[in-house]
Amino acid sequence: MTERLQVYKCDLCGNIVEVIHVGAGELVCCGAPMKLQVENTVDAAKEKHVPVIEKVAGGFKVKVGSVPHPMEEKHYIEWIELIADGKAYRQFLQPGQAPEATFEIKADGVTAREYCNLHGLWKA
C-alpha cells in the first residue's frame, strides 16, 4: 500500500510519480511495478545531497548540500520540495541553475526533499 507523498520511479522509462491520493493498488509503469524511492539511501556524497533548510524573511530557503551540488547536463538536481503543514511546495530546476529554492510561506515545522537525477531522493 502506498503512502501520501511517497515518490516512485519506473526503472524502464524513468517516469517519476508522487502519491497524492492513497489507494490499495500497485503503481505500475511499462508493465512493471514502480520502485519506491527511499530517501538518503543511495551511496553518494551526503554533503552534496542532503538539503539544508534556512529560515529567511518571508519563508524558507533550501540549498542542496552543505557543499553545492553540481548542476551539469548529466548530473543535476531536478527538483526541490518543501513540506509544511500538510502541504507540498516544489520548485523544478534545470542544469546551470543554482541548486537552491526559496519558498515564501509561513510555517513552524518544515522538511525538505530534493531529487538528483543520478543519486535519487534526499531528505532533511
Q: Which residues are annotated as a binding site for Fe cation?
A: 10, 13, 29-30, 49, 69, 75, 116, 119
CA-to-CA dists, residue 108 to 99, 111, 114, angstroms: 24, 10, 20
Binding-site residues sit at: 10, 13, 29-30, 49, 69, 75, 116, 119
What's the rounded Cα separation, in Å, for the pair 36 and 118?
A: 15
CA atoms within 13 A on the CB side of 64: 29
Query: What are the residues whose beta carbons fall under 8 Å from the beta carbon of 103, sequence distance 6 or more?
Result: 59, 60, 61, 62, 82, 84, 89, 91
